[in-house]
């Protein structure tokens, strides 16, 4: 066994995200299936309009949030596999040198799919317990006859079995691709630093600027994650504030909880791996006499602009999404409140965002401060 | 001058307590070339880390000129290292994602030295400035780390087994570069090794034995890197 349970435990981020995705999808899809079964019993016109609206809302919500979350977990999974191979490249290189084929090693990466399995089960089960209250909520105006929540095995299979198997296969295939490097590159921990355009043309930039630049360039996935984290924060918090008026309090709470979980998970994941990936560099800089603040600014500071970009995109995204949803889905329903962009909410969210971001950054800067010099050098 | 007195240091607590330095005192003159010899586990690296301000001793003092670095705050200690100390380690510890030039620049920028290319030339790496550490041989990497340490113009250079991972020929070459630069820039050298022969290059030799200094002597005539046995 190459990959221990301890390594898979680190994938708890993926479990949580997969759990959220399955939770949302189970609620809406299960509801859609059950409500379709009683379509014939709806007699009133208002009931029919509500039916149409709810079915489309369900589809949109399940595909948007589910799709978004699945995409995130795919990127995260690939990131974890790559990170595992990078940080264990010596051991894996030795295995390859001993004669293990890339595929033989890669096969072990299937266990990474377990994290998805656990998350999906958790999401599905908690959704199932929540279903009755969700059904009551959806039918609050009593436009439909009583709907009973039913278990749909096929849906369960598609929401638990398929993702788990899919992610396991994905992990193995991706690991196989990453392991195709020559043995020596793995052993020497060489990771394609050479692919740099401005090689030879040495620009006269101070070391700290260069370090900040190369930290970003080397881990582009993390730039994406940080931006994505800000995106989630901005989109979900603002959407949740509008949802309270447009839909219901429960919807608002659900959206904000999922948004915050996503935002913090991805932010913590990216920052921890930035700090971990640069431990040696930071230790060496400390030995030479660089200040803590210089180290943390060079390593963490470069991500700030990207988080602002993420915030702006998130704001636009939620505006467009809500505009479309209100315009299309609720078109036939009377006294649906008008939706327009709310600058005050946006400003509040932005202030909250900056506060949260800076606090998290500060805590990671403190972590850099506590890195022990000696343990790094004894390695 | 560095005046070290009564340094003690132990690791672990209670029954596991391991006293690594047992009250060491030593004086190191400016511009001296001193080698610390001793068996593996005798506490050489620990001693080096303590006198260079990487680790704090349990008791005792390390006085540079008039300031006792064991009394400095972390921040002041960092500034002290920045202004005074250079390091070279057995495992090089170059930054793998930076070119040779940038690695040297990491040292040079600390003290605002703009002439860092001079130092790259001094270790004979002028045609490798754009390479990454992974593309260099062990000896070349160690020469980069020599250039990096000296580019900040330190007053004291600490070396922990600088030739430990190198073969004889490459080891001599690295030592020769260090000696030449020592003559040119006249800093103090404190080098840890367990190779008896390298000690013949030094001015002062300190022999350590399980946490104590067993013997200190000076060499009448210092040999060059190419004269010593290996
Ligand atoms: N961080 C630490 N925690 C616990 N024990 C330590 C630590 N660092 C060193 N030691 C112990 O202190 C003793 C001296 O270690 P040190 O590294 O100073 O020896 P050394 O003379 O440099 O040996 P070598 O020639 O093998 O490098 C050893 O017994 C070691 O196990
Ligand atoms: Mg040692």
Q: How far is CA A166 from the centre of its chain?
A: 17
Say if ligand 1 is within 6 A of residue B20 CB: yes
Q: What SS3 class is residue B46?
A: helix
Q: Using the beta-carbon criterion (under 8 Å), do A289 and B106 form an inter-chain contact?
A: no
Residues in B touching A211 (Cβ below 8 Å): 95, 98, 106
Find the CB nearest A200 among B93, B130, B152.
Answer: B130
pLDDT of res. A195: 45
Specify the range with the lowest mean pLDDT, choosing from A368-377, B14-23, B48-57. Answer: A368-377
What confidence tens digit (pLDDT) does each residue in B130-161 have? 999 988 999 999 999 999 999 999 999 999 99
Each domain of chain A, given as residue ranges in start order, spans 1-191, 206-379
Token match 């996503």: residue?
A262
Q: Decide if A288 contacts B82 (C-beta within 8 A).
A: yes
| CB-ligand 1 contact for B39 (6 Å cutoff) | no
Q: How many residues does chain A have?
A: 379
- Residue identified by tokens 């754009």 is B130
Contacts of B83 (CB under 8 A, 6+ apart): A289, B111, B155
d(Cα B61, Cα A103) in Å, to the nearest integer? 58
Who wins on pLDDT, A79 or B68? B68
Report the distance separating Cα A270 and Cα A369, nearest Å: 18
Subunit contact B109:A207, Cβ cutoff 8 A = yes
Q: Classify the phi-psi angles of A203: left when phi > 0, otherwise alpha if psi is within -120 to 50, otherwise beta.
A: beta
Residue B38 bridge partners (DSSP): B208
Q: How far apart are CA B210 and CA B13, in angstroms?
A: 19
Q: Between the CA of residue A204 and those of A208, A209, A254, B130, B220, what are the distances in Å? A: 12, 10, 51, 13, 46
Among chain A residues, CA nearest to B54: A287
Whether this prediction's pTM lies above 0.80 is answered by: no
Q: Is residue B176's pLDDT more than 90?
A: yes
- Nearest C-alpha neighbor of A295 from the set B110, B218, B159, B226: B110
**Cβ-defined contact of B49 to A218 (cutoff 8 Å):** no
B67-68/B59-64 β-pairing: antiparallel
CB contact under 8 A, A214 and B134: no
The CA-based dihedral angle spanning residues B148, B155, B21, A372, taken in that order and rounded to the nearest 10 degrees: -40
Crossing angle (nearest 10°) for helices A249-277 and A12-37: 160
Residues in contact with A163: Cβ distance below 8 Å, sequence separation at least 6, in sequence order: A18, A22, A70, A116, A117, A120
- Please tell me if the CB atom of residue B9 comes closer than 6 angstroms to any atom of ligand 1: no
pLDDT at B125 over 90: yes
User: How far lies B225's CA from each of B101, B171, B182, B202, B214, in Å?
Assistant: 26, 9, 13, 10, 25
Q: How far apart are CA B40 and CA B42, in angstroms?
A: 6
pLDDT given for residue B121 in this prediction = 93
The residue to which tokens 């000129």 are assigned: B65
Does pLDDT of A334 surpass 80?
no
Alpha-carbon dihedral angle through residues A163, A165, A171, A177, given to the nearest 10 degrees: -120
Given a cut of 60, whether residue A194 has pLDDT beyond it is: no
Nearest to B130 among A188, A202, A374 (CB): A202
**d(CA B160, ligand 2 centre) in Å:** 7
What is the distance in angstroms between the Cα of A120 and the nearest Cα belonging to chain B? 38
Inter-chain touch B54–A373, beta carbons under 8 Å: yes
Q: Phi and psi at residue A62, in whole multiples of 5°? A: -60, -40
Cβ pair A263, A232 in contact under 8 A: yes
Q: Which residues in chain A are closer than 8 Å to B129, comparing Cβ atoms?
A: 202
pLDDT at B105: 93
Query: What span, in angstroms and rounded, lies between the C-alpha atoms of A214 and B95?
Result: 11
Mean pLDDT lowest among A99-113, A237-251, B117-131: A237-251
Mean predicted confidence (pLDDT) in B186-215? 94
Average pLDDT of the segment spanning B93-97: 88
CA of B108 relative to ligand 2 center, distance in Å: 26
Give me the torsion for CA of A147, A148, A150, A155, rounded to 10°.
Answer: 20
pLDDT for res A189: 65
Q: What is the pLDDT of residues B100-114, one digit of tens each?
A: 999 999 999 999 998
Q: Are A266 and A232 in contact (CB under 8 A)?
A: yes
Q: Which residue is listed with tokens 């105006």? A: A141
- SS3 labels along chain A: CCCCHHHHHCCHHHHHHHHHHHHHHHHHHHHHHHHHHCHHHCCCHHHHHHHHHHHHHHHHHHHHHHHHHHHHHHHHHHHHHHHHHHHCHHHHHHHHHHCCCHHHHHHHHHHHHHHHHHHHHHHHHHHHHHHHHHHHHHCCCCCCCCCCCCCCHHHHHHHHHHHHHHHHHHHHHHHHHHCCCCHHHHHCCCCCCCCCCCCCCCCCCCHHHHHHHHHHHHCHHHHHHHHHHHHHHHHHHHHHHHHHHHCCHHHHHHHHHHHHHHHHHHHHHHHHHHHHHCHHHHHHHHHHCCCHHHHHHHHHHHHHHHHHHHHHHHHHHHHHHHHHHHHHHCCCCCCCCCCCCCHHHHHHHHHHHHHHHHHHHHHHHHHHHCCCHHHHHHC
Query: From the candidates A193, A289, A294, A370, which should be mutated to test the interface with B, based on the most B CB atoms within 10 A?
Result: A289
Tokens 């005192």 belong to residue: B25
Contacts of B40 (CB under 8 A, 6+ apart): B194
Ligand 1 site, residue B211, Cβ cutoff 6 A? no
pLDDT band of A230, cuts 50, 70, 90:
very high
> What is the per-residue pLDDT for A331?
65
What distance in angstroms lies between residue B44's CA and the mean position of ligand 2's atoms? Answer: 6
E strands of chain B, at which residues?
2-11, 18-28, 33-38, 59-64, 67-68, 85-89, 156-160, 188-193, 204-209, 212-218
């Amino acid at each position: 066994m190459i990959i221990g349970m301890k390594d898979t435990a680190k994938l708890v981020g993926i479990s949580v995200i997969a759990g959220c995705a399955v939770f949302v999808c189970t609620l809406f899809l299960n509801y859609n299936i059950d409500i379709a079964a009683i379509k014939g019993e709806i007699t009133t016109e208002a009931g029919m309009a509500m039916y149409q609206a709810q079915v489309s809302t369900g589809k949109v919500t399940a595909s948007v949030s589910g799709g978004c979350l699945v995409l995130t977990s795919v990127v995260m999974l690939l990131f974890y596999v790559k990170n595992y191979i990078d940080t264990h490249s010596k051991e894996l290189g030795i295995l390859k040198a001993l004669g293990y084929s890339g595929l033989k090693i890669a096969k072990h990466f299937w266990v990474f799919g377990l994290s998805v399995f656990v998350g999906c089960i958790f999401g599905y089960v908690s959704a199932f317990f929540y279903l009755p209250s969700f059904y009551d909520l959806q039918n609050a105006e009593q436009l439909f006859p009583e709907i009973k929540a039913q278990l749909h095995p096929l849906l369960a299979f598609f929401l638990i079995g398929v993702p788990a198997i899919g992610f396991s296969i994905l992990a193995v295939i991706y690991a196989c691709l990453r392991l195709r490097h020559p043995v020596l590159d793995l052993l020497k921990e060489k990771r394609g630093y050479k692919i740099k355009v401005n090689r030879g043309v040495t620009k006269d930039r101070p070391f700290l600027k260069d370090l900040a630049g190369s930290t970003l360039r080397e881990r582009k996935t993390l730039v994406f994650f940080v931006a994505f984290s800000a995106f989630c924060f901005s989109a979900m918090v603002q959407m949740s504030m509008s949802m309270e008026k447009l839909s219901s309090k429960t919807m608002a709470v659900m959206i904000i909880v999922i948004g915050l979980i996503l935002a913090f998970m991805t932010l913590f994941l990216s920052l921890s791996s930035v700090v971990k990936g640069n431990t040696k560099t930071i230790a060496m800089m400390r030995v030479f006499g660089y200040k803590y603040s210089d180290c943390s600014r060079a390593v963490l500071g470069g991500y700030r602009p990207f988080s602002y970009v993420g915030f702006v995109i998130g704001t636009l995204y939620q505006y467009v999404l809500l505009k479309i949803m209100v315009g299309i889905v609720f078109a036939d329903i009377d006294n649906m409140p008008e939706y327009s962009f709310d600058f005050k909410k946006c400003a509040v969210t932005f202030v909250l965002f900056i506060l949260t971001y800076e606090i998290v950054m500060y805590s990671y800067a403190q972590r850099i401060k506590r890195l022990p010099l000696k343990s790094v050098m004894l390695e | 001058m560095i005046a070290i007195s009564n340094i003690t240091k132990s690791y672990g607590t209670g029954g596991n307590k391991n006293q690594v330095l047992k009250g060491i005192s030593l004086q190191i003159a400016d511009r001296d070339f001193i080698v610390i010899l001793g068996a593996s586990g005798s506490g050489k690296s620990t001693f080096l880390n303590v006198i260079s301000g990487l680790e704090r001793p349990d008791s005792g003092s390390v006085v540079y000129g008039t300031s006792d670095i064991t009394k400095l705050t972390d921040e002041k200690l960092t500034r002290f290292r920045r202004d005074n100390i250079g390091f070279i380690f057995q495992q090089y510890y170059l930054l793998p994602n930076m070119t040779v030039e940038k690695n040297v620049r990491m040292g040079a920028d600390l003290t605002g030295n703009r002439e860092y290319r001079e130092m790259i030339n001094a270790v004979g790496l002028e045609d490798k400035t754009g390479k990454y550490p992974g593309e260099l041989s062990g000896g070349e990497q160690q020469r980069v780390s020599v250039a990096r340490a000296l580019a900040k113009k330190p007053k004291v250079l600490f070396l922990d087994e600088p030739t430990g991972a190198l073969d004889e020929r490459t080891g001599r070459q690295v030592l020769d570069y260090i000696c030449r630069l020592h003559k040119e820039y006249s800093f103090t050298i404190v080098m840890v090794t367990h190779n008896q022969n390298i000690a013949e290059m030094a001015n002062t030799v300190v022999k350590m034995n399980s946490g104590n200094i067993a013997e200190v002597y000076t060499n009448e005539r210092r040999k060059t890197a190419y004269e010593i046995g290996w």
